[in-house]
């Protein structure tokens, strides 16, 4: 019921004009196109007519990409494009074939363009992510209040179909996948109060991926890792304060560390590039220094 109610309601919202493919979402799609078809992050040949299904092929990079070493690099985080690339390739080709197979008269009557057809396919994929989030919430509420399945289902549906989730439930942004990953990590922590190393690694990897999805998720990732790190080191909170509880080998926490760092290897190199740019700018004139600051 949760999945059906969420999917049907959100599907009705994309049956008319919406802004699900505008703003940063279009540039995330350009990054995904580069990963899906070129296997790289050089966006030089992805903006413009070559990607005609994204924003009608008229999208300009603007401040969303910068030239580095003769390559056009994105400024947005690449976590979402990485996981979406395989689905993107199938969706892009399917939307292209469908749009070319329909007659111009049908396209005119339905007020569709090839770009709109593709945008609807992308929205359907994000609706599927919203359905997963609704099912996660239902599981969480049902476990917290056993015996009240109907109430748990109702609250889960209302949560997904209310702001702030609702406006993001059919848009290609990082917030919805971040919510699914964070809630998944939360459920793992709740179900494994004394996790084995493989569970600790999984939570660390999920926290790492949160940061890869968007750097502003760093606080959310820390909130997921901290409780598990405390448990792995054998410290538990009691009424009297923080006390040792079934102390374990402190090396166990390194499994969590490895998982946390595993997926964020590209980010330090990106910071290094930015720091080099910063140092170069600081050696320039006064306006360059203010820009660097």
| Interval 132-157: pLDDT, tens | 999 999 998 888 888 889 999 999 99
Residue 240 or 227, more confident:
227
| Pairwise CA distance, residues 83 & 163, whole Å | 25
- Residue 208, SS3? helix
pLDDT band at residue 56 under the 50/70/90 scheme: confident
| Pairwise CA distance, residues 253 & 62, whole Å | 43
pLDDT digits (tens, 9 = 90+) for 185-223: 888 888 877 777 888 888 888 888 998 999 888 888 887
Q: How much is the average pLDDT of 38-48?
A: 90
pLDDT score at 270: 42
The three state secondary structure string of 225-290 is HHHHHHHHCCEEEECCEEEECCCCCHHHHHHHHHHHHHCCCHHHHHHHHHHHHHHHHHCCCHHHHH
Is the Cβ–Cβ distance between 76 and 24 less than 8 Å? yes
pLDDT digits (tens, 9 = 90+) for 164-182: 888 888 889 999 999 999 8
The answer on pLDDT for 99 being more than 60 is yes
The answer on pLDDT for 243 being more than 50 is no
pLDDT score at 255: 53
DSSP string over 9-44: HHHHHTSS---TTSTHHHHHHHHHHIIIIISSS--T
pLDDT score at 30: 93
pTM for the whole structure = 0.76
pLDDT digits (tens, 9 = 90+) for 256-288: 555 555 554 444 444 333 433 434 444 444 444
Mean pLDDT score across all residues of the chain: 78
Q: What kind and span of H or E run contains 74?
A: strand 71-74
Count of other CB atoms within 10 angstroms of residue 253: 21
pLDDT score at 231: 60
């Amino acid at each position: 019921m949760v999945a059906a109610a969420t999917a049907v309601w959100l599907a009705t919202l994309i049956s008319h004009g919406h802004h699900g493919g505008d703003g940063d979402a279009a540039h995330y799609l350009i990054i995904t196109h580069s990963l899906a078809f070129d296997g790289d992050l050089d966006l030089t040949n992805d903006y413009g007519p070559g990607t005609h299904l994204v924003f009608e092929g008229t999208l300009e990079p603007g401040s969303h990409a910068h030239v580095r070493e003769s390559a056009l690099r994105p400024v947005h985080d690449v976590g979402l494009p990485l996981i979406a690339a395989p689905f993107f390739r199938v969706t892009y080709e399917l939307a292209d074939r469908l749009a070319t197979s329909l007659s111009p008269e049908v396209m005119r009557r339905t007020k569709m363009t090839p770009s709109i057809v593709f945008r609807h396919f992308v929205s359907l994929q994000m609706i599927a992510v919203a359905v997963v989030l609704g099912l996660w919430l239902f599981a969480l509420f049902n476990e917290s209040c056993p015996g009240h399945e109907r109430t748990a289902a109702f609250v889960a549906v209302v949560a997904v179909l209310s702001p702030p989730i609702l406006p993001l439930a059919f848009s290609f942004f990082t917030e919805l996948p971040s919510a699914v990953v964070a809630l998944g990590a939360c459920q793992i922590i709740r179900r494994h109060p004394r996790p084995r190393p493989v569970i600790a690694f999984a939570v660390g990897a999920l926290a790492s991926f949160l940061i890869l999805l968007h750097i502003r998720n760093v606080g959310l990732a820390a909130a997921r890792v901290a409780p598990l790190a405390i448990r792995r080191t054998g410290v538990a909170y009691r009424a009297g304060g923080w006390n040792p509880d079934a102390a374990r080998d402190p090396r166990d926490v390194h499994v969590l560390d490895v998982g946390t760092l595993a997926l964020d290897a590209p980010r330090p190199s990106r910071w290094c590039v930015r720091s080099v740019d910063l140092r170069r700018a600081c050696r320039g004139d006064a306006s360059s220094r203010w820009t660097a600051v």
